[in-house]
Structures are given as C-alpha cells and as structure tokens.
C-alpha cells in the first residue's frame, strides 16, 4: 500500500477547517465576564459620560470618574461615545460614535485595521506538480474586522520565487509569482489574547517563467486564477498581532494545476 502524503495532509486540513467552523457557529460558550470599555484619560477631566446605543436606541447613559467602564452588555454590535467634563461639570471634549462588537464568549472586540508583513517556506507538492522544488516567499497583509463578529475582510499580496527547478523534459525552469488575494478570515476567540481561524481568499496571480532546454532559452508571462486556503493562530497584543499557520495555495498556471503548501509567520500593527 502506498500513501500520498500531500493528499492526506490536504484532507486533514479540510477536516480541521470544518471542525473549527462548526465550533465557531454552534458551540460558543456563555458570557464569562463583563466586558470593559477603556479610553484615553484626559488629565484635567474629573468625570466622563459614556453613552452606548444599539440599532439606534440608547441603552446606557451614565457617568464615571475613571477612564474605563464595565459594560453589562451581551453578544451584539454596539456604538459608544465618551464625553469628558471638568470639575465644574463643563464639557471638555467629546468623541465620535465608535463601533464595538461583544463576542458571546465574553470580551469586547473593537473593529480593527491590520497591516503587516510575513514570510513563508514554500513546499511544492511533487505528487501533484510532477516537479520538486522549495523556496521562500514574502507577503504584505491588510485586514479589517467586519461588524459581524468573527469575520475579517483581508487582502494578501505575496511574491514567490523558484529558481532552477526541473520539469518534464526541460533542462531548467525558473518561476516567479506575484499574487493578490482578497477574501475572509473566519475566526473564533480562544482566550483574551489568542484567536484561531480559517482563511478563504481567491485572487489573481501574475507569473514570469524562464525555461531552458537543450537548444534554447525563452521567457513567458501569464495571468492566472488562484486560491489560498489557510489555518492560522493569532496572538493579539494591544496595537500589534503575530500570526502563525499553514496555507495551501492553488494556481491555475497555463492550464495546469500548480499546488503548494507553506508554513508562514506574519506580524504587524492593528489600530
């Protein structure tokens, strides 16, 4: 009996992804703690008013002397506004309406923008591509948390280079890919700092190919449809994030299926 390792890994990848989606949709635990809303303190302010609305209706309007508020809120999408007052109860400053999302598993999660860079090790699956080759890649990442809890809209631009790989009867082939993918990162919160999710991002890939055979050398370029499927574990630290995981990438290269796996590491800022 022979085993096709890449296909086995791919099937395990799909099973794990389905389990994570099922857990996120149907198995969210109950609220464990009251979410805390925090804002930047003003040195001359003696009190703050916090107003919270949902679907246009005000549900909280109260004052506090500290720069945080433990909000008795349940799962849902809200907006809040902070007004600062001096010791004469005169208004010093007022914020705009800021969105926030309360996850059913306890914590407040504001809608963040993400910008980062990353690197990966590309492993070309020889069983599928009839070639053997490995390389490194780099990528630029951008994302935005949608108002619906657990969904992030994202874009990934990456570059991959494969010099000197054998293929069929060619003496040598070198490839370089420039890809832009946009899609979603569907995630579940594991703790106060960690989230894990599934990535589904279709896109377009521009390919430059240099081919050498016994008699000649020539260059080719093409645009191809492509897809990234991934599993990622993310550490969220204040205004930064670090993400580690594995991605499967599929490129329709000149009518042929080009498949690869890559473990990756990304990091950057969120605001």
Check residue 13 and give its pLDDT: 54
Task: Give the domain-ending residue among 56, 83, 102.
Answer: 102
175/252 same-domain check: yes
Q: Which residues pair with 175 in a beta bridge?
A: 162, 209
133/262 same-domain check: yes
Residue of 187, 171, 250, 177 whose CA lies nearest to 209: 177
40/82 same-domain check: yes
Residue of 222, 185, 224 whose CA lies nearest to 201: 185
* Predicted model pTM: 0.59
40/14 same-domain check: no
143/73 same-domain check: no
Provide, rounded to the nearest whole percent, the portion of the chain with pLDDT above 90: 30
- The CATH number of whichever domain residue 51 belongs to comes to 2.60.40
Q: Are 227 and 201 in contact (CB under 8 A)?
A: yes
Could you list the residue range(s) of the whole structural domain that residue 79 is in? 36-102
Check residue 250 and give its pLDDT: 87
- The CATH number of whichever domain residue 147 belongs to comes to 2.40.160.20
Check residue 29 and give its pLDDT: 39
154/83 same-domain check: no
Question: From the CB of residue 13, how many other CB atoms can be counted at a distance below 10 Å?
Answer: 18
96/118 same-domain check: no
251: phi > 0 → left, psi -120 to 50 → alpha, else beta; which?
beta
213/237 same-domain check: yes
130/248 same-domain check: yes
147/178 same-domain check: yes
Residue of 163, 178, 190 whose CA lies nearest to 253: 178
Task: Give the domain-ending residue among 75, 102, 129.
Answer: 102
Check residue 251 and give its pLDDT: 86
Check residue 217 and give its pLDDT: 73
pLDDT, mean over the chain: 78
Of the candidate ranges 125-129, 130-134, 140-144, the one whose mean pLDDT is the lowest: 125-129
121/97 same-domain check: no
Residue 235 clears pLDDT 80, i.e. is over it: yes
Residue 48 clears pLDDT 90, i.e. is over it: yes
CB proximity list for 211: less than 8 A, separation 6 or greater: 170, 172, 173, 217, 218, 219, 220
Which whole-number Å values give the CA distances from 263 to 84, 103, 133, 203, in the listed order? 47, 29, 15, 19
Q: Are 197 and 236 in contact (CB under 8 A)?
A: no
Task: Give the domain-ending residue among 102, 129, 149.
Answer: 102
Total domain count for the chain? 2
244/152 same-domain check: yes
Question: From the CB of residue 102, how many other CB atoms can be counted at a distance below 10 Å?
Answer: 21
DSSP 16: H
């Amino acid at each position: 009996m022979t085993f096709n390792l890449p296909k086995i890994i791919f099937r395990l990848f799909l099973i794990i992804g389905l389990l994570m989606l099922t857990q996120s949709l149907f198995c969210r635990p109950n609220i464990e703690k009251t979410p805390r809303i925090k804002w930047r303190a003003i040195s001359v302010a003696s009190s703050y008013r916090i107003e919270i609305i949902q679907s246009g209706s005000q549900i909280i309007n109260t004052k506090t002397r500290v720069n945080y508020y433990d909000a008795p809120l349940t799962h849902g999408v809200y907006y809040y506004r902070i007004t600062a007052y001096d010791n004469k109860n005169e208004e010093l400053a007022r914020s705009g309406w800021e969105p926030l999302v309360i996850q059913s598993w306890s914590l407040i999660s504001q809608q963040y923008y993400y910008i980062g860079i990353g690197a990966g090790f590309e492993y070309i699956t020889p069983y599928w591509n009839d070639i053997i080759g490995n390389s490194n890649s780099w990528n630029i990442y951008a994302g935005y948390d949608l108002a619906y809890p657990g969904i992030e809209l994202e874009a990934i631009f990456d570059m991959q280079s494969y010099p000197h790989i054998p293929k069929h009867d060619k003496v040598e082939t070198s490839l370089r890919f420039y890809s832009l993918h946009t899609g979603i990162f569907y995630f579940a919160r594991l703790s106060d700092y960690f989230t894990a999710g599934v990535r589904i991002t279709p896109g377009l890939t521009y390919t430059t190919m240099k081919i050498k055979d016994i008699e000649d050398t020539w260059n080719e370029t093409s645009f191809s449809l492509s897809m990234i499927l991934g599993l990622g574990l993310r550490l969220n630290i204040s205004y930064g994030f670090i993400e580690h995981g594995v991605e499967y990438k599929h490129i329709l290269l000149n009518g042929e299926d080009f498949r690869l796996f890559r473990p990756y590491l990304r990091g950057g800022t969120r605001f």
